[in-house]
Amino acid sequence: MAFPAAQSSRIQGLLLSLAALSLAPVQAGVMGAAPAKPMPEAISVSRKAATAVLEKSGTSSCLTGKLTNALLGLSSSCEAQGDRSPLCELANQAAVTTGWSMEFMERTSKELLKLSDTPVATTP
């Protein structure tokens, strides 16, 4: 014989499970992934980060963080749009690369600006 409180608790558990399963994929998302921004915004943020790297406007660790976050955001936006362009491939490849050197960041920044049709910033 089940207790009334136990049945109520089971029903609440089932309802909670059903609610969790009914979340739209956009709401569920991948834990730890950058939120997907509209592509123009993600590209703009990435261009700014790439320009900062090439102009060396910040410490190495700050520039690494800025470019990393921008490329993760761009990669997330590309994934959300189903975009497989060379720019998105660059973002995806950079996002899985570890141990970024300044040389790697500069190369990646130049390529990002080239692929996004933005002139490469020059260092004085």
pLDDT, tens digit only, all 124 positions of the chain: 555 555 555 555 444 444 444 444 443 344 455 568 999 999 999 999 999 999 999 999 999 999 999 999 999 999 999 999 999 999 999 988 988 999 999 999 999 999 998 544 444 4
At 59, list the tokens: 């410490």
Domain ranges for the chain, please list them: 39-115
Q: How far is CA 12 from CA 3, 27, 97, in A?
A: 15, 22, 45
Q: Give dist(CA 124, CA 79) in Å, integer.
A: 36
- pTM, two decimal places: 0.67
- For the chain, the 3-state helix, strand and coil shares in percent, each to the nearest 5, are 70, 0, 30
